[in-house]
Structure 1
Amino acid sequence: MDKVALITGGARGIGRAIVEDLGRDHKIAFTWLNSAPNLDALDGDVLAIRSDLTQQDQPTRVIDQVIAQFGRLDVIVNNAGLVRPTPKEAFNLQDHKDILDLNLLAPMALLTAALPHLQAGASIVNISSMNATLPPRDAATYGASKAALNLWTRAMAKELGPQGIRVNAIAPGAINIPEAPRSDDLTELFVKDTALGRVGVPEDIAKVVRFLASDEAGFITGEVLGVTGGYRL
């Protein structure tokens, strides 16, 4: 029986690459909000759900739709995220709340809604960031949200391990997203600081998600795996 994977923020960028990679041998559900997905290019059994995961009822609604469509859930990839400047010179409470709501609280709410349906062998993969340990200038709350996500990853791995449910995270380095590429100058700066001499592409992250979600990673839990190409070694 094909496993079922739910990917949040799956319409573009890293999320889209994960959808396409796992879609080769999983039934796929993914959420989107502002970027309407192109479903024509996707093969297999795919469910696209428009949802604002920061709204209290939405995580439960998403899980209910996945179960209604596929009858099970084996993999959750918490990819949806928000990056927004939060300069110290100007405190905007809503900006800070929006970042924390999507980057930290939405994965928590999804897990709570999904727990009754997760069986031994299920896997949760959280998309974190190298900015959890390398604070971004003028975006400290984004980095803090990912640092908190890392701690929550370890905590859930500890709590869910006895049930055979694994929880890990991936901390990408500089990834150039086709829909929103960095400038040549900024890309060059990242390349100079990266041991492998290039920035990443979304497929680099999708391949590691596939591994962590698979039975090959059956003895890996509570880890935050940097996928950075050797950034700042």
Structure 2
Amino acid sequence: MEKVALITGGARGIGRAIVEDLSRDHRVVFTWLSTEPDNSLVGDDLLAIQSDLTEAGQAEKVVDQVIDRFGQVDVIVNNAGLVRSTPKEDFRAEEHRAMLDLNLLAPAALLAAALPHLKRGASLVNISSMNAVLPPKDAVTYGASKAALNLWTRGMAKELGPSGIRVNAIAPGAINIPEAPRPEELTALFVKDTALGRAGTPEDIAKVVRFLASDAAGFVTGEVLGVTGGYRL
């Protein structure tokens, strides 16, 4: 029986690449908030759900729809994320809370909602960031939210390990998103410090998600895997 994967933030960028990759041999549900998915992301084995996962009760509604449609959930990919500028001179609590709500608390809410349906062999993959250890200028709270996600990943791996449920994270390096390309000069700076001499693609991340979600990674849990092309080695 095909596995069922739930991906948050799956309409564009890295999330879309994950949806397209896993949908080759999984039944896939993905959430979106502001970017409505195009017609290529529809099908009998694909379900798109518009949801703001920072709102109370939304995680439960999403999981209920997954179970109603496919009867199970085997893989959860927490990809939806938010980065905002938070310069130290201008503290606005709502900007900080928005990142913590989506980058850390939404995955926790989704796990709590899905836990009664997760069986031995299930897998969670969290999309973190290299900024968890390399704090970005004027966006330190974003890096802190991802550092917290990394710790949450390891903690949940420890708690869920006895149930046979694995929890891992991926920390992407500089990834060029087609819908939101970086300025060429900024990309060049990242590439200069990357051992492989190129920027990453969403597909680079999707391939690693596939591995961590698969039985091939059956003895891998509690890891934060850098997929950076050797950034700052």
TM-score by length of 2: 0.99
- Contact between 1:23 and 1:43, CA under 8 Å: does it hold in 2? no
Q: Which residue of 2 aligns with 1:180?
A: 180
Whole-Å separation in 1 of the counterparts to 2:94 and 2:133: 24
TM-score by length of 1: 0.99
Whole-Å separation in 1 of the counterparts to 2:206 and 2:147: 21
Whole-Å separation in 1 of the counterparts to 2:57 and 2:123: 23
Whole-Å separation in 1 of the counterparts to 2:51 and 2:150: 24
1:98-132 CA distances to partner (integer Å, 9 max, x unpaired)?
00000000000000000000000000000000000
Q: Which residue of 1 aligns with 2:23?
A: 23
Question: 1:39, CA displacement in angstroms?
Answer: 3.1
Question: 1:43, CA displacement in angstroms?
Answer: 5.5
Amino acid at match of 1:117: H
1:28-79 CA distances to partner (integer Å, 9 max, x unpaired)?
0000000000133555510000000000110000000000000000000000
Q: Which runs of 5+ in 2 are unaligned?
A: none
Whole-Å separation in 2 of the counterparts to 1:41 and 1:61: 21
Instruction: Give the ranges of 4+ consecutive aligned residues of structure 1 lying more than 3 Å apart after TM superposition.
Output: 41-44
Amino acid at match of 1:47: L
1:132-184 CA distances to partner (integer Å, 9 max, x unpaired)?
00000000000000000000000000000000000000000000000000011
Q: For 1:170, what is the secondary structure of its paired residue?
A: strand
- Contact between 2:123 and 2:213, CA under 8 Å: does it hold in 1? yes
Amino acid at match of 2:85: P
Q: Which residue of 2 aligns with 1:46?
A: 46
Calculate percent identity across the aligned residue pairs.
76
- Contact between 2:5 and 2:77, CA under 8 Å: does it hold in 1? yes
In the alignment of these two chains, the number of paired residues is 233
Q: Which residue of 2 aligns with 1:68?
A: 68
- Contact between 1:166 and 1:221, CA under 8 Å: does it hold in 2? yes
Q: For 1:48, what is the secondary structure of its paired residue?
A: strand
Q: Which residue of 1 aligns with 2:230?
A: 230
RMSD over equivalenced CA pairs, Å: 0.8
